[in-house]
Amino acid sequence: MTAISVSSLSKRYGKTRALDNVSIEVQRGEMVALIGASGSGKSTLIRHIAGLEVGDGEAGKVVVLGEVSQTAGRLVRGRPAGRVAVIFQQFNLVGRLSVLTNVLIGHLGRVPRWRGTLGLFSRSEREKAATALARVGIPSVAAQRSSTLSGGQQQRAAIARTLVQEAEILIADEPISALDPSSARRVMDVLANINSQDSITILVSLHQIEYARRYCKRTIAMRDGRVVYDGPSTSLSNSFLAELYGDASEELVLPKSPAEPLPARLVRSSCLKPVHVLA
Amino acid sequence: MNGMDQTVSTPRPTAFKLIKAIGDRATSSPNAGHGSGGRRNLFLLALLVAALSWSWGPAEISRWTYLFTDSGNMAEYAAGFLRPDFSDWRHYLEEMLVTIQIALWGTFLAVVLSVPFGILSAHNMAPWWVLQPVRRLMDLFRAIHEVVFAVLFVVSVGLGPFAGVMALFIHTTGILAKLFSEAVEAIDPRPVEAIRTTGASRVQQVIYGVIPQVLPLWISYSLYRLESNVRSATVLGIIGAGGIGQVLFESIRAFYYPEASAILIIVVITVTIMDLISQLLRRLVI
């Protein structure tokens, strides 16, 4: 069954075409990578699927789990709220609230309005939030203000919020590009785990092809607002990327580390003092 | 008299044109400051000098010499205040408390109303057809001085503290709603967006996404207004809204300067204590 279906979606911001007649389909249970250089339209596409933006023109349409979310440049009234959970590049937690409260926010679309508004969450709802935090590997930070967490921890708290939300689809807008490599891997591991254990459909936009090859079977590549590749991640070799993106392909590939560490030596630079490089 | 009128009226249009010119420059070329910084500063200085000399006559600044030639009068008057008479201090303290209570209620009611009004007059929260009427209403509340409101309320609810509460309430609402809305306009919209994707309602987005971000500033502004309202409530007493101001004004009018002096000292000490308490509260909450 189709989880996400986007057809003929276009969007302009002033003169730039952010999305140019984009059509994609994602099946239930898939974990799909969305790659592309900066400004290729990844984030714009994700914001449209999340219902945060509406497209231009009559033809554009977004269908989520069989229900129309937006069509002809208008969000559909009475569309089911909260069925697509979203993770953002900058985590977007509320910094002054505790981590637990941030995770509890995931319940808002499901509990009765008055209870959510007054913040009266039941014991089982609190337990569920705590369980979600344990699952993403940060059970001990629940009472802390979320602004005190590291970037990787914040992103995992944001994932815990989407777990509580119990959405069947999770879309992630460059979830790891603000993180250091080891935090990035941990976040991607959590996403892959959610995909395989809970069979939640995941669409994740990535800046680096290595992560797409490692975590996702299928990759959709975008350039200048258009889908330029849609197929197995393994077929996306570095040389094919260079063909697709030209010089811009460099930013999509992690720089190669030297085969052998450089020998430690005293560096005499043009500075006044010699700089010692410690091996 | 005629000559003075002319000097007053002629520079007015030029001054307005100049102000407009500065505004145009600022909006049209944001980078203009780099190349012509010196010339711009000179221009602003000239503008300031022009505005000050334009206001010289009407504000009667030329009378400054009287400060020295007639300083004897002042000294004589001030001498009456040199021996404060605290014999009636119990009464003064009671009235001082009434003034604080007026300020407390006036500020509290204003804070309660400023939360919805502040959110509704923030351009990132409300559509223009809500924003504009609310903002204009707040302008009205703010533009009219507490004393004027107090006179109006004295007519309707009678002489006494409640008229003072209402006057402070209305005027402070106008001020706090504006300050509150400016804080709301400066928030980071991204956490609010994230909350929206969970299926939260508009009100829930405000409660979980907006309020936590603006709360420290809101508390700070409210405490500051409480302090200023203690001062304002003193003045309101003078026009019959009860409290220490009324006692102060009565003793000045009856030439009981030692008593007036004691009252002034109590007011100054109270305002200082209020300042210390609000600093403490701010540190506790933020």
Tell me which residue in A94, A113, A158 faces B208 most closely, judged by beta carbons. Answer: A94
More confident residue, B17 or B175: B175
Minimal C-alpha gap between B127 and chain A (Å)? 17
What confidence score (pLDDT) does residue B9 get?
41
Residue B45's pLDDT band, with cuts at 50, 70 and 90, is very high
Tell me which residue in A83, A86, A96 faces B194 most closely, judged by beta carbons. Answer: A86
**Cα separation, A248 vs B209, whole angstroms:** 37
Q: What single-letter amino acid sits at B275? A: D
Structure tokens at A202: 């995941």
Q: Sheet holding A31-35: strands in order across?
A: A84-87, A169-173, A201-206, A31-35, A218-223, A226-232
Q: What is the mean pLDDT of chain A?
A: 80
Where is mean pLDDT largest: A42-46, A59-63, B27-31, B117-121? B117-121
Tell me which residue in A50, A80, A110 faces B197 most closely, judged by beta carbons. Answer: A50
- The reply to whether A147 touches chain B by the CB within 8 Å rule is no
Residue B19's pLDDT band, with cuts at 50, 70 and 90, is very low
Report, as an integer, the average pLDDT of A219-226. 85
pLDDT tens-digit readout, B144-182: 888 888 888 888 888 888 888 999 999 999 999 999 999
Q: Locate the domains of chain B by residue range.
A: 2-76, 89-285
- The reply to whether A199 touches chain B by the CB within 8 Å rule is no
* Cβ(B229)–Cβ(B172) below 8 Å: yes
The pLDDT of residue B25 is above 70: no
Q: What are phi and psi of A30, to 5 degrees?
A: -75, 155
pLDDT tens-digit readout, A179-216: 788 888 888 888 888 888 888 899 999 888 888 888 88
pLDDT tens-digit readout, B203-242: 888 999 899 999 988 988 998 898 889 888 888 888 877 7
SS3 state at A234: helix
The answer to whether B194 contacts A158, with C-beta atoms less than 8 Å apart, is yes
The answer to whether B203 contacts A117, with C-beta atoms less than 8 Å apart, is yes
**Cα separation, A134 vs A142, whole angstroms:** 10
More confident residue, B46 or A126: B46
Contacts from A23-28 at CB under 8 Å and sequence distance 24+?
A23/A227, A24/A220, A24/A227, A24/A230, A26/A2, A26/A201, A26/A203, A27/A1, A27/A2, A27/A3, A27/A201, A28/A1, A28/A2, A28/A3, A28/A168, A28/A199, A28/A201
Distances (CA, A) of A61 to A70, A71, A85, B193: 6, 4, 19, 21
Report, as an integer, the average pLDDT of A34-52. 84
Tell me which residue in B193, B199, B216 faces A52 most closely, judged by beta carbons. Answer: B193
The answer to whether A106 contacts B209, with C-beta atoms less than 8 Å apart, is no
Strand partners of residue B153: none
Structure tokens at B260: 């007036």
Helices B11-28 + B37-56 axis angle, to 10: 150
What confidence score (pLDDT) does residue A260 get?
54
Percentage, residues of chain A above pLDDT 70 = 87
Report, as an integer, the average pLDDT of A45-68. 82
Contacts of A145 (CB under 8 A, 6+ apart): A95, A96, A97, A98, A99
Where is mean pLDDT largest: A112-121, A159-168, B50-59? B50-59
What length does chain A have? 279
Report, as an integer, the average pLDDT of B20-28. 46
Tell me which residue in B199, B209, B212 faces A81 most closely, judged by beta carbons. Answer: B199
The pLDDT of residue B31 is above 50: no
Report, as an integer, the average pLDDT of A229-246. 77
Domains of chain A (ranges plus CATH)?
2-83+170-276 (3.40.50.300), 92-166 (no CATH)
Closest CA to B125 of B209, B48, B64: B209
pLDDT tens-digit readout, A57-93: 777 888 888 787 778 777 777 666 678 889 888 888 8
Which of A103, A105, A118 to mutate to probe the B interface, most B CBs <10 Å? A105
Q: What is the DSSP string of A11-25?
A: EEETTEEEEEEEEEE
**Cα separation, A224 vs A6, whole angstroms:** 17
- The reply to whether A120 touches chain B by the CB within 8 Å rule is no
Closest CA to B193 of A206, A99, A105: A105
What confidence score (pLDDT) does residue A256 get?
57
The answer to whether A109 contacts B208, with C-beta atoms less than 8 Å apart, is no
Distances (CA, A) of A234 to A223, A241, A248, B178: 19, 12, 20, 57
The answer to whether A86 contacts B197, with C-beta atoms less than 8 Å apart, is yes
* Cβ(A218)–Cβ(A233) below 8 Å: yes
The answer to whether A88 contacts B190, with C-beta atoms less than 8 Å apart, is yes
The pLDDT of residue B114 is above 90: yes
Distance of CA A27 to the CA centre of its chain: 17
Chain B positions touching A117 (Cβ under 8 A) are 201, 203-204, 207
Strands A84-87 and A169-173: parallel
Distances (CA, A) of B58 to B17, B67, B68, B70: 21, 18, 21, 21
* Cβ(B192)–Cβ(B209) below 8 Å: yes
What ipTM, to 2 d.p.? 0.80
What confidence score (pLDDT) does residue B173 get?
95
**Cα separation, B233 vs B99, whole angstroms:** 6
Chain A positions touching B190 (Cβ under 8 A) are 88, 90, 92
CATH class name, domain B89-285 = mainly alpha
For B46-62, b/e burial (b = at least 16 CB within 10 A) is eeeeeeeebeeeeeeee
What is the widest separation between alpha-carbon atoms in chain A? 68
pLDDT tens-digit readout, A95-130: 888 888 889 888 887 877 888 788 788 888 888 888
The pLDDT of residue B12 is above 50: no
